[in-house]
């Protein structure tokens, strides 16, 4: 028999400075919604893969400022939290067809990476446990392949940039490295090119029309019962 609401263990949290009591074990995202907030910004996939729900928090009696994804981190008693619907970090505009052929395009477009003081704050803040400082050091050296490989799981949440004392937009540097490497260095895939030709030839038009005509319930049922290779 499940416990009643009266018997359910709760914790105290503060959202934007206001105190709420929520069930223990909720994620920060669920706790925010449980408290009556309607999340329009700062919420996306709810599964830890889109990076939209970056959240800053402090714990009662702890002076440190922490950061995590609201859909992953569970609430703790006395937690003070605030969402970051957008992390302000300048992103350069460039022509991918031309950039990356000579020199170090990462350092040329993001010269602030040279200000890295190796404090490792970015790595400690990363919810994906990426070695952020290490790939920034590779960016300084111009090793685009290593930056692309080491940052492959970056979800662009921007928490690293929000915590960096050198004001480096690590996530944008990493994204640029993956784009440049994919465009100019990564071997071309014959099967991807073949699939693109099939798509452009209309081979999947009928299947796409059939899928878009289905109800949400049917789509969810198909998704849950799909075969995963």
One digit per residue, pLDDT tens: the chain, 229 residues? Answer: 344 556 789 999 999 889 999 999 999 999 999 999 888 777 888 877 788 888 889 998 898 888 889 999 999 999 999 877 777 788 889 898 888 777 899 999 999 999 999 999 999 999 889 999 999 999 999 999 999 999 999 988 888 998 899 999 999 999 999 999 999 888 888 999 999 999 999 999 999 999 999 999 999 999 999 888 7
> Do residue 65 and residue 121 come from a single domain?
no
> Do residue 112 and residue 56 come from a single domain?
no
Evaluate whether residue 71 is within a structural domain.
Answer: yes
Evaluate whether residue 94 is within a structural domain.
Answer: no
> Do residue 179 and residue 195 come from a single domain?
no
Evaluate whether residue 229 is within a structural domain.
Answer: no
Residue of 61, 73, 91, 50 lying closest to 176 (CA atoms): 91
CATH number at residue 148: 1.10.1060.10
> Do residue 196 and residue 180 come from a single domain?
no
> Do residue 109 and residue 165 come from a single domain?
yes
> Do residue 72 and residue 111 come from a single domain?
no
> Do residue 180 and residue 195 come from a single domain?
no
Evaluate whether residue 99 is within a structural domain.
Answer: no
Evaluate whether residue 215 is within a structural domain.
Answer: yes
Q: Could you tell me if 153 and 117 are in contact, meaning their C-beta atoms sit under 8 angstroms apart? A: no
Domain hosting 207: range is 190-224
| 3-state secondary structure (DSSP) of residue 204 | coil
Evaluate whether residue 212 is within a structural domain.
Answer: yes
Q: Could you tell me if 89 and 107 are in contact, meaning their C-beta atoms sit under 8 angstroms apart? A: no
Evaluate whether residue 199 is within a structural domain.
Answer: yes
Tell me, rounded to whole angstroms, the distance of Cα 29 from its chain centroid.
15
Distances (CA, A) of 201 to 149, 186, 205: 33, 26, 9
Q: How much is the pLDDT for 5?
A: 56
d(CA 200, CA 205): 9
> Do residue 205 and residue 158 come from a single domain?
no
Could you tell me the pTM of the whole model? 0.73
> Do residue 209 and residue 161 come from a single domain?
no
Give the tokens for residue 207.
């299947």
CATH number at residue 43: 3.10.20.740
> Do residue 142 and residue 208 come from a single domain?
no
Evaluate whether residue 95 is within a structural domain.
Answer: no
Domain count, the chain: 3
């Amino acid at each position: 028999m499940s416990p009643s609401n009266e018997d359910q263990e709760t914790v105290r949290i503060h959202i934007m400075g206001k105190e709420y009591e929520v069930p223990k074990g909720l994620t920060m995202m669920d706790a925010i919604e449980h408290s009556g907030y309607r999340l329009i910004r700062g919420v996306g996939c709810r599964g830890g893969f889109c990076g939209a729900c970056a959240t800053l928090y402090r714990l009662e009696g702890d002076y440190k400022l922490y950061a995590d994804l609201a859909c992953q981190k569970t609430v703790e008693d006395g937690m003070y939290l605030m969402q970051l619907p957008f992390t302000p970090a300048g992103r350069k505009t460039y022509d991918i067809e031309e950039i990356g052929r000579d020199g170090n395009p990462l350092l040329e477009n993001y010269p602030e990476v040279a200000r890295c003081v190796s404090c490792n704050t970015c790595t400690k803040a990363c919810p994906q446990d990426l070695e952020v400082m290490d790939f920034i050091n590779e960016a300084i050296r111009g090793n685009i392949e290593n930056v692309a490989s080491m940052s492959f799981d970056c979800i662009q949440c921007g928490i690293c940039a929000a915590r960096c004392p050198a004001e480096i937009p690590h996530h944008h540097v990493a994204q640029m490295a993956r784009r440049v490497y994919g465009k100019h260095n990564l071997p071309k895939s014959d099967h991807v090119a073949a699939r693109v030709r099939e798509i452009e030839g209309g081979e999947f038009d009928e299947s796409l029309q059939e899928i878009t005509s289905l109800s949400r319930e049917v789509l969810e049922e198909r998704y849950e019962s799909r075969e995963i290779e």
